[in-house]
């Protein structure tokens, strides 16, 4: 155990579905002597009671002031509804706290930029909970793509669907697609240039619960992402089609989450182009790399603490939070305009105040 003053003291704000996972993982890091998981905040009495039951060693309060004005607290994790992220992250940064904000970072480009500016001004870490960037599977895929094992990636398809949880403060685009967009940016090491999106609001008027999103990366790769709260099965599956190989990542599979298919099609050469020689299809081996077994949220929490202690820039920093929000904002325009193609550089994207739902009272 390190000396008390050597530890990074953490407060978690928001103890609904996801917040308790942050608390549990921060507590698990205490054994390393680098973290003190001190306090939790939630205005909902039932949620406070649950945290007191689960973790009696933690101070639990009903308002952020208890944590933001506590000089012992170095860092806060915000696991509150999306519409509160900007205000709470801004307050925390102004109070001198390092901040890990759940995805999406905020609901407009201007808000993301303001948080990035505040973090820089106060020399504080600002990180976004793009959890999948901390999974063994996504890191393996990123490594394979970076070393060219798939060839040039032409196409990505992502399916992230299940029944519920129907949220009232965001549509399914802002709720689930941050994961797909962050994974695809990370793996391809590229920014989308254009998007199209279409969707339906079936259960709650005005809040899309099924969205199909296309991300175009210039003249090169494209990605199709389907996110839905209205589906009989929980599916988290991504396919990466490269010029040399193809890869399927099934995040809910118990084993062989990644399978690499030595499959493809070779075009006949120009000499053969009179149709005498058909396309040559390759059906080779299927390989499944072994993946390290760890909880991604623990890896993400540990990275946040490392960045604070070592003065490092997080992998999912404010800029990457902004890039994801830029793609969401462009997609939001397309979604509300019959799926028209929207460039991320279109000035109208700057005006989007997103989340796809009526203003949420927190």
Ligand X SMILES: NC(=O)c1ccc[n+]([C@@H]2O[C@H](COP(=O)([O-])OP(=O)(O)OC[C@H]3O[C@@H](n4cnc5c(N)ncnc54)[C@H](O)[C@@H]3O)[C@@H](O)[C@H]2O)c1
Binding site for ligand X (CB under 6 A): 13-19, 41-44, 47, 64, 79-82, 84, 102-103, 129, 131, 362
179 to each of 239, 268, 277, how far by Cα in Å? 15, 38, 43
223 to each of 56, 190, 196, 248, how far by Cα in Å? 46, 12, 11, 14
The token pair that represents 65 in the structure block: 């002031």
In angstroms, give the least distance from the CB of 155 to ligand X: 25
Instruction: Give the C-alpha separation, 30 to 181, whole Å.
Output: 32
In angstroms, give the least distance from the CB of 242 to ligand X: 27
Helical (H) or strand (E) element with 268: none
Cα–Cα nearest to 230, from 210, 206, 204: 210
Beta carbon nearer to ligand X, 342 or 357: 357
Beta carbon nearer to ligand X, 48 or 122: 48
Beta carbon nearer to ligand X, 129 or 264: 129
In angstroms, give the least distance from the CB of 12 to ligand X: 9
264 phi/psi in degrees, rounded to 5:
175, -175
Cα–Cα nearest to 140, from 288, 1, 35: 288
Beta carbon nearer to ligand X, 79 or 214: 79
Beta strand 258-266 with 280-287: parallel, antiparallel or unpaired?
antiparallel
What residue number has its CB nearest to ligand X?
16
Beta carbon nearer to ligand X, 11 or 242: 11
In angstroms, give the least distance from the CB of 75 to ligand X: 16
In angstroms, give the least distance from the CB of 340 to ligand X: 27
């Amino acid at each position: 155990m390190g000396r008390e003053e050597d530890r990074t003291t953490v407060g978690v704000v928001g103890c609904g579905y996801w917040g308790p996972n942050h608390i549990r993982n921060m507590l698990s890091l205490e054994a390393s002597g680098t973290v003190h998981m001190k306090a939790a905040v939630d205005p909902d009495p039932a949620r406070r009671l649950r945290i007191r039951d689960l973790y009696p060693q933690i101070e639990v309060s009903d308002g952020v002031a208890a944590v933001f004005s506590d000089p012992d607290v170095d860092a806060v994790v915000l696991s509150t509804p999306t519409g509160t992220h900007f205000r709470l992250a801004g307050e925390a940064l102004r109070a001198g706290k390092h901040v890990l904000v759940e995805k999406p970072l905020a609901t407009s480009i201007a808000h993301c930029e303001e948080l990035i500016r505040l973090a820089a001004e106060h020399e504080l870490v600002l990180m976004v909970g793009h959890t999948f960037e901390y999974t063994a599977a996504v890191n393996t895929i990123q490594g394979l793509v970076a070393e060219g094992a798939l060839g040039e990636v032409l196409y990505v398809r992502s399916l992230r669907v299940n029944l519920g949880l129907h949220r009232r403060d965001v549509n399914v685009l802002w709720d689930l697609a941050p994961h797909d967009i962050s994974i695809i940016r990370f793996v391809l090491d590229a920014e989308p240039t254009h998007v199209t999106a279409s969707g339906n609001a079936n259960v709650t008027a005005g809040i899309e619960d099924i969205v199909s999103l296309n991300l175009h990366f210039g003249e090169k790769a494209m990605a199709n992402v389907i996110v839905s709260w209205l589906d009989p099965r929980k599916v988290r599956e991504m396919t990466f089609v490269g010029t040399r190989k193809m890869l399927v990542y099934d995040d809910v599979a118990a084993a062989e989450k990644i399978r690499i298919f030595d499959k493809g099609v070779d075009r006949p050469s120009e000499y053969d182009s009179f149709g005498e020689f058909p396309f040559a299809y390759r059906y080779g081996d299927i390989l499944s790399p072994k993946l390290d077994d760890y909880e991604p949220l623990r890896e993400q929490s540990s990275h946040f603490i490392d960045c604070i202690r070592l003065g490092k820039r997080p992998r999912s920093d404010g800029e990457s939070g902004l890039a994801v929000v830029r793609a969401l904002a462009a997609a939001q325009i397309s979604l509300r305009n019959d799926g028209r193609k929207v460039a991320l550089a279109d000035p109208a994207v700057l005006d989007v105040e997103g989340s796809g739902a009526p203003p949420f009272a927190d």
